[in-house]
Structure 1
Amino acid sequence: MNTSTLIAPPAIVRRAEQHDTRAIQAQDSAHFIHPFTDHGDLATRGARVMTRAENIYVWDSEGHRILDAMSGLWCVNAGYGRKELADAAYQQLMTLPYYNSFFQTTNVPAVQLASKLASLAPVVGGRRFEHVFFSSSGSESNDTNVRLVRRYWDLLGQPQRKVIISRHNAYHGSTMAGASLGGMSGMHAQGDLPIPDIVHIEQPYHFENAQPGESAADFGRRAAGWLEAKILEVGPERVAAFIAEPVQGAGGVIIPPETYWPEIQRIVDQYGILLISDEVICAFGRLGHWFAYEKFGYRPDLVTFAKGVTSGYVPLGGVMVGDRVAQVLIEQGGEFNHGYTYSGHPVACAVALANLELMEREDLPGKVKNDTGPYLAQRFAELNEHPLVGVAETCGLVAGLVLVKDKATGETFDPDLGVGMKCRAHCFKNGLIMRAVGDRMIIAPPLVITRAQIDELMGLIRQCLDATLVQLRAEGLHS
């Protein structure tokens, strides 16, 4: 690691160490409404106050160093404290801090970033991405996808094609359209979701949905078949698009069998529907490629991105618009009545450019593909021997394991017991950020993680699993 690229001014460290944790927690409880949070519960516990970060570690207001195995929220790909990203933001702030992209106006960083993204997007099966629509987040980008898809079919004289098919337990954002596209039952229970003309099929989760004795390959083909069945149920003439994450992230790192995506591609081709690859988590090196569709070999028409494009340093999202859609919109569409105040924000785009150049210079996607990804897979597979682990699997630098009550039979715990949350509590106590999705524990560490740090990470995970097992046995929940 080149320490000259890290930001750790002593004054910043001293201010972080002087925070009054209880006072900050009281202010937080009084004024800050957090995302996806039970605020009554949070008020009794007090929020964890993060104060600084460096490389793959964060520090809280009590001075505890914590290995951030979730890259913030799947996004700090280049690691914390990269001075060149801060410099890029500062220089752009002092040059042109903001201007809009409406009224036939543009700015240099937005143009340069669009060109850079087009150059990084691989051509698969002749499908090219030469155009980009910018937003500020993945949620906004998926709202944009709904607009793009429906406008595309309107222009082709098929306005009845409005239905978008997604998957249960998928996450595509938390705006009205994004949450509707996603398949999270808890989100749909609030706000009368999904909105009309968005429907869902089951996820390709072999551990949970395979039939007894069914191989992963056979299950992958069967799971893809659920898309065709839904198309026929809705009516092919009404289906506009299928949206899916290459690997489901917030749903628990659900890695589809190798047979899944080729069959999905066959189905969308057969029925002529658009394919949207939501790569908010999976793009920019996370799976060892700049874009994950290249890894799995399918040909999307639209690609959602955000998070890793700036390594989370500044909010930025967007949609890579494939030539099939772009040509119709540009040549036949007239004015596209959609956009955001911060579409193509010059500071965000400048930071993204610096981030992508950094990732190219250090070959972070190649490092994940050829070095740290395979090494994490090797080390993570060792957890399959643990008494609590039903299955442990990885894809690039994402990984997930299932906590089970009976390893021999694969019996899972009663969800009401909150075993995953018990494990997560042990993780925080032992200096590790590992996310719980039900009883599935997941990680997505920064792409700058080294083999030595993977060893450290695996030691912490095993320590936390052991502590969880001790607790469960003491509570009579595990033999």
Structure 2
Amino acid sequence: MTPPDDAPRFNSAAARDIEYALHPYTNHKAFRDTGPLIIQRGQGIKVFDDSGKGYIESVAGLWCASLGFANQRLADAAYKQMQQLPFYHAFGARSHDPLIDLSEALIQRAPLSTGGKPFSKVFFANSGSEANDSAIKMIWFYNNAIGRPAKKKIIGRVRGYHGITVASGSVTGQPANHKMFDLPIAGFFHVSTPHHYGYAQPGETEEAFASRLAQELDDLIVREGPDTVAAFFAEPVMGAGGVIIPPATYYEKIQAVLRKHDVLFVADEVICGFGRTGHYWGCQTFGIQPDILTCAKQLSSAFLPISAVMISEQLYQGIAEGSDAAGTWGHGFTYSGHPVPAAVALETLKIYDEMEMPKLVATRGAYLQKAMQDRFASHPLVGEVRGVGMIGAIQLSPDKASRATFDPARKLGPRWQALGLEHGVMMRVLVNESAAISPPLTISEPEIDEMLDLIGAALDDLAKEI
């Protein structure tokens, strides 16, 4: 039956959402007509909307719900801590057990820092954006403290994603994070995306492509002046930029350039950390020894907001000297190391240990990667299937031979996502119509098959439409 013309277009909750909420990453003019999809509960790898329909979450929400959408142990950890100490801060040398225990746990699990040395200290924030913003401030403070006030420039990569604060949004290399925000600010630069499929020259091997990108970085540092360039930011695997797997020898060659010019390496492990790539850290998967490591998302399995910055002993010593000269290290957040998220994060790490998460992901990730290749590599609309561990992408192309991309004006990505919703799978289609695959790490092999079948059904429908 067709509803009458005067029937309300949205239910009460949706109407109130349109009236009062300002959503992130949303076209708000269009939103007034489309309204929200309201999610009411979660269980396992699925979330359920207010009509009761379930959706497999193919990207774990925003790459973050590693243990799925319900876990009694994490809920109990939060409740227990709320009963004991619901809040205290870490300003002025104050502390509490969850902050101390989590700091120790992260240092014990951390990869090797620069020169093969252990990381030294941990600073806590509330999001990946804040962690990377804090890292930038640490770098600037450190160089001031050791007498290098000109060494402040920061290098990111085109399509890299490091957050949305003014500073982290500037090192991010995404147009949507720059347009109309007056970003990037001065002193931030970007080098090429390390995507061999998309940007290699005809006949160029992965190794040759990596050498060319390392030379580009070297040339930029020399052109700007090594005494002015402070740090290079990189995700071991680019996430929001399209799930870009680095070409062979890339990080080996990039790190050699950075060491030559005494430029710090910041590894953004916000997506890759805690087993996603088949090792505990993406740095271990790709042979990176950074000066600073940032992490968030899977640190608490996304149950509560928390992020961390781990720094080398060299940086810590500089910050310590600078804080003495300035009278304090004047940086921090009210909720830095908040006891409740810290307690949940600690319980999350215990669960990862019990599940032997890197080993689990290495096995189940191999299954995912093969299943993706088998299901999509020969599809007439697919140009490349790529991935590592439990993260991957399916990139559309109108012509496999030329590796061409579809005109963004056709909006095939949003259409594919919409078809996915109809089939019962939450999708995130990124730049160049690349569908990200990054499900909860607890997903089973039968659930992987079901997820890919639903994504494939949506893709088949898209192929019929175009």
Q: Structure 2-normalised TM-score?
A: 0.95
After TM superposition, give the deviation of residue 331 of structure 1 in Å.
4.5
* Equivalences, count: 452
Is the contact between residue 287 and residue 395 of structure 1 (CA under 8 Å) also seen in structure 2? yes
The residue that corresponds to 2:21 in the other structure is 32
1:452 is aligned, of 443, 446, 456, to 446
Q: Which string of whole-angstrom CA distances, capped at 9 and with x for unpartnered residues, describes residues 386-436 of structure 1?
A: 000000011111111211112233222111111111111111110111211
Q: C-alpha separation between the residues in 1 aligned to 2:76 and 2:300?
A: 13
Matched, 1:373 2:349: no
1:237 is aligned, of 227, 234, 241, to 227
Is the contact between residue 167 and residue 185 of structure 2 (CA under 8 Å) also seen in structure 1? yes
SS of 1:67's equivalent in the other structure is strand
Matched, 1:392 2:367: no
1:361 is aligned, of 348, 351, 354, to 354
Q: C-alpha separation between the residues in 1 aligned to 2:223 and 2:425?
A: 46
The residue that corresponds to 1:117 in the other structure is 106
Amino acid at match of 2:237: V
1:249 is aligned, of 239, 243, 255, to 239
Q: In angstroms, what is the RMSD of aligned CA positions?
A: 1.3
Is the contact between residue 376 and residue 394 of structure 1 (CA under 8 Å) also seen in structure 2? no
Q: What aligned pairs does 1:285-434 form with structure 2 within 5 A after superposition?
A: 285-331=275-321, 333-334=323-324, 335-369=328-362, 371-382=363-374, 383-434=376-427
Is the contact between residue 242 and residue 430 of structure 2 (CA under 8 Å) also seen in structure 1? yes
SS of 1:165's equivalent in the other structure is strand
Matched, 1:42 2:36: no
SS of 1:170's equivalent in the other structure is coil
The residue that corresponds to 1:12 in the other structure is none
The residue that corresponds to 1:6 in the other structure is none
Is the contact between residue 21 and residue 62 of structure 1 (CA under 8 Å) also seen in structure 2? no
Is the contact between residue 152 and residue 328 of structure 1 (CA under 8 Å) also seen in structure 2? yes
Amino acid at match of 2:430: V
Q: C-alpha separation between the residues in 2 aligned to 1:325 and 1:58?
A: 42
Q: Which string of whole-angstrom CA distances, capped at 9 and with x for unpartnered residues, describes residues 63-102 of structure 1?
A: 1110001111110111121100000000001110001111
Q: Which string of whole-angstrom CA distances, capped at 9 and with x for unpartnered residues, describes residues 131-171 of structure 1?
A: 10000001111111111101111121111001011111111
Q: Which string of whole-angstrom CA distances, capped at 9 and with x for unpartnered residues, describes residues 309-330 of structure 1?
A: 0000000012011122112222
Unaligned runs of 5+ in 1: 1-19, 473-479
Is the contact between residue 141 and residue 322 of structure 2 (CA under 8 Å) also seen in structure 1? no
Is the contact between residue 128 and residue 322 of structure 1 (CA under 8 Å) also seen in structure 2? yes
The residue that corresponds to 1:277 in the other structure is 267
Matched, 1:131 2:121: yes
SS of 2:116's equivalent in the other structure is coil
Q: Percent same amino acid at aligned positions?
A: 38
The residue that corresponds to 2:62 in the other structure is 73
1:214 is aligned, of 192, 201, 204, to 204
Q: Which string of whole-angstrom CA distances, capped at 9 and with x for unpartnered residues, describes residues 158-206 of structure 1?
A: 1100101111111111111111110111221222111121111111011
Amino acid at match of 2:356: D
SS of 1:385's equivalent in the other structure is coil
After TM superposition, give the deviation of residue 21 of structure 1 in Å.
6.7
Greater Cα offset, 324-333 or 38-47: 324-333
Q: Which string of whole-angstrom CA distances, capped at 9 and with x for unpartnered residues, describes residues 192-235 of structure 1?
A: 11112111111101122110121222212222222111101111
Amino acid at match of 1:366: K
Q: C-alpha separation between the residues in 2 aligned to 1:223 and 1:381?
A: 28
Q: Which string of whole-angstrom CA distances, capped at 9 and with x for unpartnered residues, describes residues 266-308 of structure 1?
A: 1111111110001111101111222211111111000111100
SS of 2:103's equivalent in the other structure is helix
The residue that corresponds to 1:9 in the other structure is none
Which segments of structure 1 move beyond 4 Å, counting only runs of 4 or more?
A: none
1:440 is aligned, of 431, 434, 439, to 434
Matched, 1:51 2:40: yes
Q: Which string of whole-angstrom CA distances, capped at 9 and with x for unpartnered residues, describes residues 311-352 of structure 1?
A: 000000120111221122224542211110000100010000
Q: C-alpha separation between the residues in 2 aligned to 1:435 and 1:198?
A: 28
